[in-house]
Chain A
């Protein structure tokens, strides 16, 4: 039997092997065609791809001209066009610094990782925000996909170390530290993130000494970082609990103290086990960055939302949402595939 015939047979078995199956297949096919035909006609067949203004668009089809005209805003928000090389440069530098981490091994990888962790975050704030020789760009002007990634990464930089400390605290034998960690984790996990963002934007300026301001964006990042830290802590705890007790016991029999045991023996193994769970929390963080909309910070979804108010482009709701939604989907889908491949690879034994 040829390969072609074999695959035909397989599909016939999958879709038409019994009358009931055939009926289900046909019903689904009818539904899919009924739903997809008008959508394809709107999004592709009748759509307008090139032009300058709304007047170039054919009614009854998608107006992708709008996305083209607004592309810069979707990516950078109201960031000055002349300065856009700065976030771009930061993105390239970060990629160049992080890519070798996937190739290098052992001590070199550790050193590069630590160096990147120490240098990149302040470098990013300086390049994007300006000051010290660069023209200052207020956070109010930041926006779009750039801001979504910025918030996700900087909130993650708060959440991961704090989450690890909280997970260790929750496993600690010191009762006070254990209680404090549990209370912190359960409190932040119990309240809605939208409320936390409101809380951070209202309370952070209130509890600072008079005259000390906290940047609007910084408040949102801190709020998100605190909540996600609590979720990260639970992901790390899973890894810590999955380790056999003998690991810590053997380390302590060798005369290692708490921090040596944790830093050299238990934590590296625990982190490797909990990496997929931590990636899933990071995906949740990327999705939750959209909530900064409620304190009028315009990330990718916020820019899409605010672009609907433009009188020159009335009625572009579906186009704007589809574009923003696709980008979110691509980012989260790629991350979730990566997390799944980590899970399938699994930890390399204890």
Chain B
């Protein structure tokens, strides 16, 4: 009887699963009991009440209007917005730079391709933290003092305290401009859909590209110029020792952004190269023999197929940028790790709650990035029967 039970596959499966879950539950109970005992001994409170306490922590750079008299919950959000802010801008710039380097790598010009290759090999084999520290302590610290700032048209100043740019005195015109730009993009999307249907039904061409140029380039430029002219500007002025006025982008942000962009671009370049290289040569040749022009070949044949290969690895690069933005903690860029997991944790000592909330931020926004990229991937995926 016991022998039969021992050799029964279903019983064995059940046994292993019960054994593993029992040991996990046991381990968890052990950890939780120790933790609660240790916390009682150390006099650390538990629960989320600390979030409504006044933070009293100064944040040098914030987009949420946080003040040090606000509560810790507001500090948390200031950190989250700073994390998202640097991540989004890095993703955008790293994609652009990565595309340029990847295309240079594929160029038929030997020297251009060799230099792009050297850049990729250089960047991929060095720790990101090295770049962060290098940009911060090596490059930005070596910039001149505020009174000898490097300046561009006496409007943008760069020095070892950061980048000072003119600040708009009123945000309202820019909100209108943003609305106009979004409206133009939506219109372009509708026009291209309508043009595709018209082409399928009647075979007639629509000058989509020209319309797109007007809607996606001229409208935004016009809107931004209008907005810039209809608001006042607070121009930075060179004082005796320091600059006055303007909006200061802190050096930590500049260093972190530069590090994330230069590092990630090396990885994006390889993805671009792999994606375009994965499109079979016959595809281009077939397109050319059908009489498509080089631009059309790239647009209708090569890029759509390359995108399918590129989207999954690009997704993981975007997720990496989101996670890597936490490297800012090493130079005290006020992101969620350094503000919340660093300063707030030091003040309150409530490690478990704070760590859980910080990790939840990354998991949550990571899921959002994956969901968006998967949605886009499904849209462009090859439809097979």
Contacts and interface: CB of A to CB of B under 8 A. Distances in A.
A180 interface: yes
Contact of B126 (A25, A199, A328): A328
Contacts of A203: 35, 351-352, 355
Interface in B325-368: 325-327, 329-330, 337, 341, 345, 351-352, 355, 358-359, 362-363, 366-367
Given A191-B363, A194-B337, A207 B130 contact: no
A178 to B, nearest CB: 10
Interface string A292-308: 01100000010001001
Interface in A181-197: 187, 190-195
A26 to B, nearest CB: 10
A254 B310 CA distance: 42
Contact of B109 (A25, A190, A191, A202): A25
A288 to B, nearest CB: 7
Interface string A303-326: 001001000000001100100110
A24 B366 CA distance: 41
Given A192-B326, A209-B34, A305-B133, A198 B341 contact: yes
Given A180-B24, A294-B330, A336-B125, A321 B138 contact: yes
A7 to B, nearest CB: 13
B323 A192 contact: yes
A202 B102 CA distance: 41
B279 to A, nearest CB: 21
A166 to B, nearest CB: 13
A168 interface: no
A202 B355 CA distance: 9
Interface string B297-330: 0000000000000000000000100011111011
Contacts of B109: 15, 21, 24-25
Contacts of B224: none
Interface residues of B, number: 55
Contacts of A301: 127, 129-130, 133
Contacts of A333: 121, 125
Contacts of B20: 176-177, 180
A99 interface: no
B34 A198 contact: no
Decide if the interface of chain A is mainly helix, strand, loop or mixed. helix
Contacts of B319: 190
B127 A207 contact: no
Given A190-B366, A287-B126, A210 B34 contact: yes
A210 B126 CA distance: 40
A199 B355 contact: yes
B31 A290 contact: no
Contacts of B329: 194, 294
A308 B38 contact: no
A108 interface: no
A232 B268 CA distance: 22
A294 B326 CA distance: 11
Contact of A176 (B17, B39, B138, B141): B17
A25 B112 CA distance: 8
A328 B127 contact: yes
Contacts of A176: 17, 20-21
Contact of B130 (A194, A209, A318, A324): A324
Interface in B1-52: 13, 16-17, 20-21, 24, 30-32, 34-35, 37-39, 41
Interface string B181-192: 000000000000
B142 interface: yes
A24 B142 contact: no
Contacts of B133: 301, 305, 321
B153 interface: no
Nearest to B129: A290
B214 interface: no
A31 to B, nearest CB: 9
A192 B337 contact: yes
Contacts of A173: 13
B358 A206 contact: no
B198 interface: no
B137 A317 contact: yes
Nearest to A286: B127
Contacts of B367: 190
B228 interface: no
B128 A287 contact: yes
Interface string B126-155: 111110011001100110000000000000
B110 interface: yes
B130 to A, nearest CB: 5
A28 B119 CA distance: 14
B111 interface: yes
A174 interface: yes
Given A177-B16, A321-B133, A208 B126 contact: no
A283 interface: yes
Contacts of B110: 14-15
Interface of B: 13, 16-17, 20-21, 24, 30-32, 34-35, 37-39, 41, 109-112, 115, 121-122, 124-130, 133-134, 137-138, 141-142, 319, 323-327, 329-330, 337, 341, 345, 351-352, 355, 358-359, 362-363, 366-367
5 closest A-B pairs (Cβ-Cβ)? A332-B125, A14-B110, A207-B31, A192-B326, A287-B127
Given A177-B20, A293-B129, 16 more contacts: A14-B110, A25-B109, A194-B326, A194-B329, A195-B362, A207-B32, A209-B34, A287-B127, A287-B129, A289-B127, A291-B330, A294-B329, A321-B130, A329-B126, A332-B124, A336-B125
27 contacts: A14-B110, A24-B111, A24-B112, A25-B111, A28-B111, A28-B112, A32-B115, A177-B17, A190-B362, A191-B323, A202-B345, A203-B355, A206-B352, A207-B32, A207-B34, A207-B38, A209-B37, A283-B125, A301-B127, A301-B130, A305-B137, A317-B137, A317-B141, A321-B133, A324-B130, A325-B126, A328-B125
Interface of A: 14-15, 21, 24-25, 28, 32, 173-177, 180, 187, 190-195, 198-199, 202-203, 205-210, 283, 286-291, 293-294, 301, 305, 308, 317-318, 321, 324-325, 328-329, 332-333, 336
